[in-house]
Amino acid sequence: METLLRYRSLPREAAALRSGADDPVAAAARTCDRIDAVEAQVLAFVPEPERRARLLEAARRAAAGPQDAGGRPPLYGIPVGVKDIVHVDGLPTRAGSALPPEALGGVQATVVDRLLAAGALIAGKTVTAEFAVTAPGPTRNPHNPAHTPGGSSSGSAAAVASGMVPLAIGTQTVGSMIRPAAYCGVVGFKPSYGRIPTAGVIPNAVSFDTLGCYAADVAGVALAASVLCDGWREEGAAQRAPAGGRPVLGIPVGPYLERADDEALRAFAGQREVLQAAGYAVREVPVMDDFERIVEQLFTMNRYEVARAHAEWFARFGDRYRPETVTAVRQGQAIGDADYEAARTRRAAFRDRLAADADAAGIDLWIAPAATGPAPADLTSTGKSIMCLPWSNAGLPSLGLPAGRAANGLPLGLQLIGAAGADEELLRAAPGIESALAEPAGGPDRAPAGRREGDTRAHR
């Protein structure tokens, strides 16, 4: 049986394509070959019978473009998976649901326009939980197909982990990108809220929905972010670097951190030791002593907005919704305007308080487990999003890094969280942390040292 796990270096592939050492048609053919080889086991993509013909035609058009390497855009010829709540011209949007695609149609998303302008090719739609809520799609975890890949951006994370594409687009409302990154052992980037326009994306909860991306390493997501995010600052990141070049890291001590499983907390303690040994200052900061109230506040806003986003569709097609989504909509319908506005007020206060806590402690980045533990052996659930909840609530940029393995061999992740709007600083600081976590010292629970293109370590 074909090995399911493979990593593709986005920066390396992009450089080869731009220089002419590779060409878009060959890259598209390799992508289709890889999809043909492993998709039946991973189920990361929405089925598309004519995918190869469509993608090869797009690649031929790209190859007929600028022949001068200097005139080729940054993602020239790169095949990209796009989560199936994001509208792409020529491809139906089903949002993981049984609703008719024509009812869900809309104009092509701004993020897709930016991908195409940067030279990318759309490899296809990737599987999502129904309407990016909680009802899982069919995708399997490439590390072990008996385990969930997470959600709701399950297909995008699994497509990158299995080497079907070097780049994929997902969304996060609560934990829909960072958790799948941890479960699938890839790098996931959720920018600051609003940094990538969500026009052309089917909403989950509009006050939280954020577009992001997956790649095999930090350099890959940084390349993608530079062309997808509004107002990207290449020079500004360097100008605002922390003193001494290394960020001060903060651990959010309190009820929030206690929600992680024992295994995740043990791994997190080991990650802290590795980072301190590498020269990072790490400070414990007591925060979120009212964590249960924070969870309640987000739940109130989220479910209220889910119900409003689906008001028309649910009235027409409610019998086609899956039970988990029906429950979410019904819960939102029961929340009144006054409770929603009160929750919005509490959220604003939480954002201000969290920023003040970080400033008072003198930290540049928060660090925390990316998930409560490794991917559960449960394909009826996408896992728990609680470790991402406060950061999504505050609209902060987050980055999920592979960081060792659980006792069962499945990946674990570390989450880095920056200040609002400081996406460039987060991604500039991350490679040093990524490198420290990838060192071979530390025994079998440590992440494998480095990742080479074509790496095929995986369960079979």
Tell me the domain boundaries of the chain: 10-290+347-437
pTM of the complete model = 0.95
Of 78, 348, 80, 58, which Cα lies nearest the Cα of 213? 80
Q: With b meaning 16 or more CB within 10 Å and e meaning fewer, what string describes 7-25?
A: bbbbbbbbbbbbeeebbbb
Q: Which residues contact 161 (CB under 8 A, 6 or more apart)?
A: 5, 7, 141, 142, 143, 149, 184, 185, 186
Say yes or no to pLDDT of 1 above 90. Answer: no
Could you list the beta-strand ranges (E) of 71-221.
79-83, 121-126, 167-172, 187-190, 210-215
User: And the tokens for 71?
Assistant: 């005139």
Residue 444, pLDDT score? 32
Tens of pLDDT, residue by residue over 415-440, are: 999 999 999 999 999 999 999 999 54
Average pLDDT over residues 368-376: 98
Superfamily (CATH H level) for 10-290+347-437: Amidase signature (AS) domain (3.90.1300.10)
Active site residue 176: yes
Quick one: pLDDT band at residue 218, thresholds 50, 70, 90? very high
Say yes or no to pLDDT of 237 above 90. Answer: no
**CA–CA distances in Å: residue 180 to residues 184, 231, 406:** 6, 27, 15
| 156 vs 154: CA distance, rounded Å | 6
Q: Which of 83, 125, 190, 384 is catalytic?
A: 83
Provide the H-helix boundaries in 167-261.
178-184, 218-228, 234-239
Q: In DSSP terms, which residues pair with 125 in a beta bridge?
A: 82
Residue type, 36: D
Give the β-pairing of 121-126 and 210-215.
unpaired
Residue type, 97: S
Active site residue 83: yes
DSSP labels for 287-317?
Answer: --TTHHHHHHHHHHHHHHHHHHHTHHHHHHH
Range with the poorest average pLDDT among 224-228, 242-246, 298-302, 449-453: 449-453
Say yes or no to pLDDT of 66 above 90. Answer: no
Q: Which of 9, 97, 125, 152 is catalytic?
A: 152
| 415 vs 387: CA distance, rounded Å | 9
**CA triplet 147, 2, 185: central angle to 5 degrees?**
40
- What is the number of helices (H) and of strands (E) in the chain? 16, 10
Range with the poorest average pLDDT among 241-255, 310-324, 353-367, 416-430: 241-255
Quick one: pLDDT band at residue 235, thresholds 50, 70, 90? low
Dihedral angle of Cα 48, 51, 52, 56, to the nearest 10 degrees: 180
Residue 239, pLDDT score? 42
Question: Phi, psi at residue 315, to the nearest 5°?
Answer: -65, -35
| 81 vs 412: CA distance, rounded Å | 23
Q: In DSSP terms, which residues pair with 144 in a beta bridge?
A: 141
Percent of the chain at pLDDT above 70?
93
Averaged pLDDT of the chain: 93
Say yes or no to pLDDT of 449 above 70. Answer: no
Active site residue 384: no
Q: Which of 156, 176, 392, 398 is catalytic?
A: 176
| 74 vs 450: CA distance, rounded Å | 24
